Amino acid sequence: MRGQDTTLERLSVDRRLEEALAHGPDPLHIAEVSKLAEKTGMRYAESAQALLEQAAEQHH
């Protein structure tokens, strides 16, 4: 990963958001799959929901 702009943390965040987008912004699912605290799962779910809404707005 040396010399790359991508970090392991960025990849991890991206994977969690991808999971939330693929299975819906369910905070408990995200927390369970990613082994996160429920509050952290909620933050990812909120981010995924915002991304979904933004995509819907751009589509119309």
| pLDDT value of residue 32 | 92
Give the pair of three-digit tokens for residue 13. Answer: 């965040």
Low-confidence ranges of the chain (pLDDT < 50): none
Domain ranges of the chain: 8-59
Q: How far apart are CA 28 and CA 54, in angstroms?
A: 23
State the pLDDT at residue 2: 63
H/E stretch holding 25: none
pTM, two decimals, is: 0.73
